Amino acid sequence: MTDTSEATPTPIGRRTVLIATGAAAASLAVTAAAPEAPTAEAAGTAPVAAAAVCTLTKEMTEGPYYLDGQLVRADISEDKTGIPLELTLTVVDDDTCAPLNSALVEIWHCDALGEYSGFVGNNGHNEPDNGTFLRGGVLTGPDGVAEITTVYPGWYRGRCVHIHVKVHTDVTLTADGSFTGGQELHTGQLFFDETTTTRVAALATYAANTVPRTTLAQDGIYDDGGAASGLLTLTALGTSPSAGYAGALTLGVESS
């Protein structure tokens, strides 16, 4: 599906990926095991956080800024300025609520100036472009949880603040810190409530983005469907917006 509300980017070739760090590096060249079909007993013992929401999360457009072969890493922020955003995304089977183990959750989004790595300049700003910033993902654990650290996104012309997300199973981690193969179960977007975004947009780092901001209500992709359409539950990490936020959502996907 084509996202006509996003600017058409100038394509670039597959980027050179970096070596994964931390726990991901210890798992290089390991094939992520596909989760077994959940039984009734497994569904009954699913963690409370996973079972709290058990609806199919709406599929949404991939948009024009996806790059394959993203890094497998828990922190995708690199050196980008912006307030912290700590994401906790729980992947469950929408039929049984059973958590999906070893599913790769990958995300990508623009920086505070509305620029995507690999396509810098499309939102009218000049900055270094290494082709990797604010891109990557991690494997879920047995509880279906993927934790990713990034920065609160900015915005670009015609779109509200959002993050793109994909969920894959059966991927193979590679020696260069990326992944190959697997089955794509879900493509969607994560959204932010307007009250929080308005506070963030007033901070100097984000106010430097002079492109007019599209609100959640004005966006042509978000359908006001709440959590089922990707609306994050946000929790402040401190007493001021500059301290950042934690964002949580349960992604219900069709695993079979």
**pLDDT confidence of residue 53:** 57
CB 87 within 8 A of CB 34: no
- Does residue 51 sit in helix, strand or coil? helix
| Torsion from C-alpha of 114, 84, 97, 95, nearest 10 degrees | 0
Alpha carbons within 13 A on the beta-carbon side of 110? 28
CB 98 within 8 A of CB 92: yes
Query: Which residue type is seen at 81?
Result: T
Per residue of the chain (256 residues), what is the pLDDT tens digit? 434 444 444 433 333 233 233 333 333 333 333 333 333 333 333 343 434 457 899 999 999 999 998 899 999 999 999 999 999 999 999 999 999 999 999 999 999 999 999 999 999 899 999 999 999 999 999 999 999 999 999 999 999 999 999 999 999 999 999 999 999 999 999 999 999 999 999 999 999 998 999 999 999 999 999 999 999 999 999 999 999 999 999 999 998 7
**Tokens, residue 48:** 């409370």
**pLDDT confidence of residue 38:** 32
**pLDDT confidence of residue 32:** 38
Contacts of 60 (CB under 8 A, 6+ apart): 187, 188, 189, 221, 229, 230
Contacts of 54 (CB under 8 A, 6+ apart): 92, 94, 96, 97, 250, 252
**pLDDT confidence of residue 7:** 44
Query: Hunting for tokens 């599209």 — which residue is that?
Result: 214
**What is the rounded CA–CA span in Å between residue 204 and residue 113?**
11
**What is the rounded CA–CA span in Å between residue 235 and residue 163?**
17
Q: Is the pTM of this model over 0.75?
A: yes
Contacts of 147 (CB under 8 A, 6+ apart): 74, 86, 87, 88, 89, 138
